[in-house]
Amino acid sequence: MSEMSGAAALMAALEKEKVDYIFGLPGGANLPIYDALVDSKIRHILVRHEQSAAHMADGYARIKRKAGVCFATSGPGATNLVTGIATAYADSSPIIAVTGQVALPMIGKDAFQETDIIGVTNPVTKYAFQPRVASEIPEMVKKSFYIAESGRPGPVLIDIPKDVQQQVTKMEFPEYIKVRGYNPIVDADLSEINKACEMILKAEKPMIMAGGGVILSGAFSELQALAELLSIPVVTTFKGKGAFPENHPLALGPIGMHGHAEANKMVQEADCILAIGARFSDRTVGRFDEFGKDINVIHFDVDPAEIGKNKSVNAAVIGDVKSSLRSLIKLIPKNLRTNEEISKLWLGRKRELVNYYEDSIKDYSREITAKKALKKLREILPADGIVTTEVGQCQMWASLHFDVISPGTFFSSTGLGTMGFGFPASIGAKAARNDIPVVDIAGDGSFSMTENSLAVSVLEKLPVIVFLLNNQMLGMVAQWQRTFYNRRYSGVHQKNCPDYCKLAESYGAQAHRVGSMDELEKSLKVAIKSDIATVIDIPIDPDEDVYPFVAPGTGLKDMIIGA
């Protein structure tokens, strides 16, 4: 046992969890923690707003595949984390948020900068801890990482009163822990896997729908092996984009509100859907009562609460999807040959739809459009380059027109849809993988919300590329106002504010405004090789819409292609 303060014990416990980055901002209630940080080997990234700290920890976690850590003080510092914590919760991303709190005798007395942050975050965390004595901190840290990273991942909060941070006592650091009532390891029921196998083998028009759970479990090779073994076309949810190489012959890309038209069409014609790590969200399936009607639906998921939540299923395999898929593949006869006639007809239908919609979906004749710019980005960016997005039209254009080749190199705020997420998250991703280029596909509205993180990118030498599709408009809202509100625009124009090149340069970043595809290509090549943050300002027409489009409250069959 060692004698140390609660703050020093926190840092020692984080070091034992092999934490290498902390994203945070100090304040009065976490000053003892920041004093202990001086003696730590962990690198601290000073953010300009606590929301960005949570997003950076989130981006780090999605690439590193381990929990990211963020710090904030009490009161407004803690509440500023809430949007980032809720974003991580909605997308099942593991982060550890450590907040300072007023001293124990002051809790509940409306003390300066006091907020019941545990009560505030209860709906958007897997668990929350508040140590009452310093000796509890090492075990709580150990439990926090276990809870955040196991089962269905998610955020955990540790709220530490200031006097507990300062208390000096003997500390014991446990090697193993058990959380009473928490049993996230579930071995899949083999009878359900057998049932699923029989359904798939009997199907004439099977489809795989891969969700974010494939990425979380790292089941990339298993998914590809299953699809290739049975020649099954693969669609993804938007959260699952990147679970399957989008240049693969069996890939159809994302489905849903702004999914690929051929994917939306073909999934309606299937007779069996194997959903892997997907939650059947409204943005993916449209109307719950229409999606998968009168066909066999098989659901693989680690979270039992997802089974039947949005969609009734015919077979449910509960457990880690990576191990569940391995078990399924073992059940398929080694000498199996898919029905070549059925397979030929089904894959022929895929090619037919791809060709049809390539010619039918509305495009724009201008030299630079979102579609053309994103295809140029894909052409120039290395296959293993990491891409995240802001939220809005830029996000949906990325879904449609940027093909993910290397598994697990794309992520976005898909559940909460948090504007301002992409840029700080890209900095977190760069911290996780400083050896490869990281790009934030941005819109001007979303980027403006957290552009002060340019200071972090520059000063901390974590250079990322902001691929800014700039229409001087809150584009997604404007598109809805064009479509559903008779072009009655309200609160969406952002003309001439700001000049993003001058803004970037004021932070010490570099910037390029491009006026042609040649200029865009040159700017991308310079940015990829650069060791400084780069903003590429790409002016596009404010009337450019995203197609296809499935309107809220309608089904995939009601898709608007803009022709």
Q: What DSSP string describes 150-212?
A: SSS---EEEEEEHHHHH-EEEE---S----TT-----PPPHHHHHHHHHHHHH-SSEEEEE-H
Count: domains in the chain? 3
- Token pair recorded at residue 324: 């569940």
Report whether 120 contacts 61 (CB < 8 A): no
DSSP-assigned beta bridge partners for residue 158: 98, 129
What is the rounded average pLDDT of the residues 214-240?
A: 95
Do residues 347 and 379 both lie within one domain? no
**Domain edge (last residue) among 171, 199, 225:** 171
Task: Assign residue 312 the CATH number of its domain.
Answer: 3.40.50.1220
Do residues 155 and 237 both lie within one domain? no
Q: Comparing 144 with 258, which gets the higher pLDDT?
A: 144
Tens of pLDDT, residue by residue over 406-452, are 999 999 999 999 999 999 999 999 999 999 999 999 999 999 999 99
Do residues 264 and 378 both lie within one domain? no
- Token pair recorded at residue 377: 């980005």
Within 8 A by CB and 6+ apart from 423, the residues are: 52, 390, 440, 442, 447, 450, 451, 453, 464, 466
**In which element (H, E) is residue 23 found?**
strand 21-24
Please give the Cα distance from 126 to 308 (Å, whole number).
21
Residue type (1 letter), 176: Y
The residues annotated with a catalytic role in the active site are: 50, 112-113, 162, 476
The rounded percent of the chain whose pLDDT value lies above 90 is 83
Do residues 144 and 228 both lie within one domain? no
Position 420 in a domain: yes
pLDDT for the residue 272 = 95
Dmax over CA atoms of the chain, in Å, equals: 75
Residue 376 has pLDDT above 80, yes or no: yes
Residue 390 has pLDDT above 80, yes or no: yes
What is the rounded average pLDDT of the residues 536-558?
A: 92
pLDDT for the residue 345 = 75
Report whether 54 contacts 87 (CB < 8 A): yes
Please give the Cα distance from 57 to 425 (Å, whole number).
7
- 370-380 and 517-529 helices cross at what angle (nearest 10)? 40
C-alpha distances (whole Å) from 486 to each of 399, 483, 544, 563 are 27, 6, 16, 18
Do residues 250 and 322 both lie within one domain? yes
Please give the Cα distance from 542 to 550 (Å, whole number).
20
Tens of pLDDT, residue by residue over 178-195, are 899 898 877 888 999 999
Do residues 446 and 416 both lie within one domain? yes
Within 8 A by CB and 6+ apart from 191, the residues are: none
What is the rounded average pLDDT of the residues 47-69?
A: 98
Cβ-based burial of 452 (10 A; exposed 0-12, middle 13-18, buried ≥19): middle
Tens of pLDDT, residue by residue over 278-301, are 999 998 988 888 888 889 999 999
Do residues 245 and 163 both lie within one domain? no
Tens of pLDDT, residue by residue over 13-26, are 999 999 999 999 99
| Averaged pLDDT score across all residues of the chain | 94
Position 556 in a domain: no
DSSP H helical ranges for 291-339: 321-331
pLDDT for the residue 362 = 67
pLDDT for the residue 365 = 85
Tens of pLDDT, residue by residue over 487-507, are 999 999 887 779 999 999 999
Report whether 276 contacts 325 (CB < 8 A): yes
Position 364 in a domain: no
- Token pair recorded at residue 188: 């899949």
Q: Which residue has the tokens 């699809």?
A: 227
Q: Comparing 101 with 257, which gets the higher pLDDT?
A: 101
Residue 213 has pLDDT above 70, yes or no: yes
Do residues 198 and 270 both lie within one domain? yes
Sign of CA dihedral 484, 488, 492, 493: positive
Range of the domain at 63: 2-171
C-alpha distances (whole Å) from 519 to each of 29, 202, 332, 498, 512 are 49, 53, 52, 21, 9
**Domain edge (last residue) among 359, 386, 417:** 359
Tens of pLDDT, residue by residue over 322-365, are 999 999 999 988 766 555 666 777 878 888 887 888 766 667 88
pLDDT for the residue 338 = 57
pTM of the predicted model, to two decimals? 0.96
pLDDT for the residue 562 = 75
Position 331 in a domain: yes
Strand segments (E) across 242-380 = 251-254, 272-276, 296-301, 315-318
pLDDT for the residue 341 = 62
Position 378 in a domain: yes
Nearest to 402 by CA among 421, 420, 388, 417: 388
Residue 563 has pLDDT above 60, yes or no: no
Do residues 402 and 538 both lie within one domain? yes
HSE toward the beta carbon, residue 256, CA cutoff 13 A: 25
